[in-house]
Amino acid sequence: MNTTIESVFVIEVLWSARPQSAHVIKVLDGRAWATLVGDLDADNPDHVMLKGSKLKVSPGQHLVVEAWPRHDNDALKVIWQPLGQSDIELTAYSADSTSA
């Protein structure tokens, strides 16, 4: 998937991205648990993200975001913004997905 513009979407269960250029993910609404694989300067690759939280994802890092609702009706809404042109591999998993 090629993208040079920001994308706003709802994550229902699990979402993954492996960008080829720098990106930022920002939580617009809800709460998330994010793991940033390849975050070599961090002691812990896991991040709790609340409304307004941002996380920079460098080229080659693998980001996995999981919706972490407090209540049944809570939705996780995020914006994914490239910091430059990007070719990214995106994988989204829905609640009824049977493949891992």
- Which comes out higher in pLDDT, residue 86 or 40? 40
Alpha helices in the chain (DSSP H): none
Instruction: Note whether residue 100 is domain-resident.
Output: no
For the full predicted model, state whether its pTM sits above 0.85: no
* Residue type present at position 49: M
Give the pLDDT confidence score for residue 72 in this predicted structure: 84
Q: In the chain, how many domains are there?
A: 1
Give the pLDDT confidence score for residue 99 in this predicted structure: 42
Round to whole Å and give the CA distance between 68 and 40: 25
Question: Residue 18 is part of a domain; what is its CATH number?
Answer: 2.60.120.10
Q: What is the pLDDT of residues 44-79, one digit of tens each?
A: 789 999 999 999 999 989 999 999 998 888 899 999
Instruction: Note whether residue 95 is domain-resident.
Output: no
Instruction: Note whether residue 62 is domain-resident.
Output: yes
Domain that holds residue 36: 2-88
- Which tokens belong to 44? 């812990």
Rounded to the nearest integer, the mean pLDDT of the chain is 81
Mean pLDDT of 67-96: 74
Give the pLDDT confidence score for residue 76 in this predicted structure: 96
Instruction: Note whether residue 49 is domain-resident.
Output: yes
Instruction: Note whether residue 64 is domain-resident.
Output: yes
